[in-house]
Structures are given as C-alpha cells and as structure tokens.
C-alpha cells in the first residue's frame, strides 16, 4: 500500500504565517515532541506500515522537500553541543526516510484536492491512502480498502458531512452543507483503489474551477460502490487559525517539556 500526501495548497486561511512557510510545516506539540504537521503525518503512516509515499507539493514548497532530506552533518553538530535528545529525534526521522521511497510531484496549477490526487495516478498502483497534511488523528486505526475516517463534531457545517447506515456504510456525503444531515464529518484520510481516478476524471470543476475529491467519492457511492466509515474518537484540525490554535492548546496540555540543558 502507498500513501498519497497532499501538501500543495496556498494555506490562505493561515496567513500571514503561511506567506513563506507552508502550512504543513507549521510546528505542533505531539506525543512529547515538537514537529511540523507533515512530519507527524509521515511518521504515523510509516508506523502504520507504509514505505512508499507520493507527496504532492506546489510552488514555494521547497521547504518541505528540504525538511525531508536527511542532514547528518546537522545531527553531528547537535551532538557536539550536547544536544543528544534533539539529535536522536532527528536521526530517528532520517532513518525512517532512508527506509522509505518518496516520489515528489509538483501541482503547478492549484485546482483542488481532487486535482492534486489525480497527479499521483501514474504512481499510485491499486491500493493507497490519500491524506491531507492538515489533519491528524490521535491514533491511526486500521482501514480496509474503500473506507474513510470519520468522527463526530458539535458544528459540522464547515466540513464534509456524511450519513451512514447501521453497518457504517456511507449513504450520503455533502461538502460544507448549510443544514447538515448528521454531526459526522470526514477526516481527510481515505483508503481507496484505482477506481477513484476514473471518477475524478469525470468530475466537473466547481464554481471555483476546482476538482473536488468528495464529489468523486459521492459519485462512487451513487454508483453503488460501498465506502465504509471508520470511526476515530479524537482528531486535530489545523486548517485555519482558530482550529490550529485550538488543537495546539489541546496538545500542549499533554506535553511535559524537559528544558534542561536547552537554549
């Protein structure tokens, strides 16, 4: 199984911080560490068992590629300054990178999430995860083919909303509805097969001239392809300023930093 990680958006909802820094590179506290969001996404997927990655980036995202390039001279420097914990954390990340195959794809013209996924078609194979690098589930649970992570929220209006049956099969999907039919929302973690590409090719651009992945999945469901919703209890959304701050504060409470010998 491969993982397609999309990280090509402009990040306009997090301006001005994202004028020069990709939103996927904004740091967060997570499980005792302080890392860019996209690194946490990668490491979760690696620990899930994935070794083949396709990362979709856009113009100005060179910082992401640089961060995913091992720099053992820097870890050597950290050790010379007795920063052993920091050096070890980076070396652990670098070893995971060395054991992984990463394909970088440039989405020159930002035409939506679905268009970003389409760029991966020649490399994706038949079984893959699609992940947007601005959400993180607390724990990445097992996902069968043709499934989507879902969770419950108080206010679902700004998300993709789903309605499910008694077997957790998704019956309906709406993008940011004014009157949601449930409080179940989609987390952008999708395990699909290559049928999604056929549906994406047939999706008409929306009013913003973007191709939406949710519309392609909605069309799959209407074609009687079963898509199952997999529940997760807790997830973190970093898509805009308010959500980033809220998630950051929640995660900060779970960390006990050791500042000894730190600058």
Specify if 95 maps to a domain.
yes
* Mean pLDDT of all residues belonging to the chain: 89
Specify if 257 maps to a domain.
no
The pLDDT of residue 255 = 56
Specify if 258 maps to a domain.
no
The pLDDT of residue 104 = 95
What distance lies between CA 170 and its chain's CA centroid? 21
* pLDDT confidence tier of residue 148, bands split at 50, 70 and 90: very high
When pLDDT is averaged across residues 149-154 and rounded to a whole number, the result is 90
Q: Which domain holds residue 235?
A: 2-251
Specify if 260 maps to a domain.
no
When pLDDT is averaged across residues 87-101 and rounded to a whole number, the result is 95
pLDDT tens, residue by residue, 42-55: 999 999 999 999 99
Q: At 27, list the tokens.
A: 């740091």
pLDDT tens, residue by residue, 170-179: 998 888 888 8
Domain with 171 in it: what CATH number?
A: 3.90.550.10
Number of separate domains in the chain: 1
The pLDDT of residue 62 = 85
Specify if 262 maps to a domain.
no
Specify if 173 maps to a domain.
yes
CA angle at residue 107 from 105 to 110, to 5 degrees? Answer: 160
When pLDDT is averaged across residues 59-70 and rounded to a whole number, the result is 87
Specify if 215 maps to a domain.
yes
Specify if 259 maps to a domain.
no
């Amino acid at each position: 199984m491969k993982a397609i990680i999309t990280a090509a958006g402009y990040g306009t909802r997090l301006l001005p911080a994202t004028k020069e820094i990709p939103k996927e590179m904004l740091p967060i506290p997570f499980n005792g560490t302080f890392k860019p969001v996209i690194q946490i996404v990668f490491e979760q997927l690696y620990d899930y068992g994935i070794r083949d990655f396709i990362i979709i980036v856009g113009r100005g995202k060179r910082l992401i590629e640089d961060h995913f390039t091992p720099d053992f001279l820097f870890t050597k420097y950290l050790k010379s300054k007795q920063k052993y914990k920091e050096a070890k954390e980076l070396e652990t990340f670098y070893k995971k990178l060395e054991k992984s195959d990463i394909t970088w794809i440039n989405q020159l013209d930002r035409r939506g999430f679905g268009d970003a996924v389409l760029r991966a078609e020649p490399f994706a194979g038949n079984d893959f995860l699609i992940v947007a690098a601005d959400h993180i589930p607390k724990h990445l649970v097992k996902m069968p083919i043709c499934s989507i992570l879902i969770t419950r929220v108080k206010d679902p209006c700004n998300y993709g909303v789903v309605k499910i049956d008694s077997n957790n099969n998704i019956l309906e999907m709406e993008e940011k509805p004014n009157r949601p039919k449930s409080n179940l929302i989609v987390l952008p973690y999708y395990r699909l097969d290559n049928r999604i590409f056929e549906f994406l090719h047939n999706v008409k651009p929306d009013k913003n001239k973007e191709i939406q992945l949710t519309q392609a999945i909605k069309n799959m469901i209407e074609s009687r392809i079963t898509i199952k919703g997999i529940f997760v209890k807790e997830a973190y959304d970093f898509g805009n300023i308010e959500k980033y701050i809220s998630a950051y504060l929640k995660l900060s409470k779970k960390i006990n930093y050791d500042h000894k010998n730190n600058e």
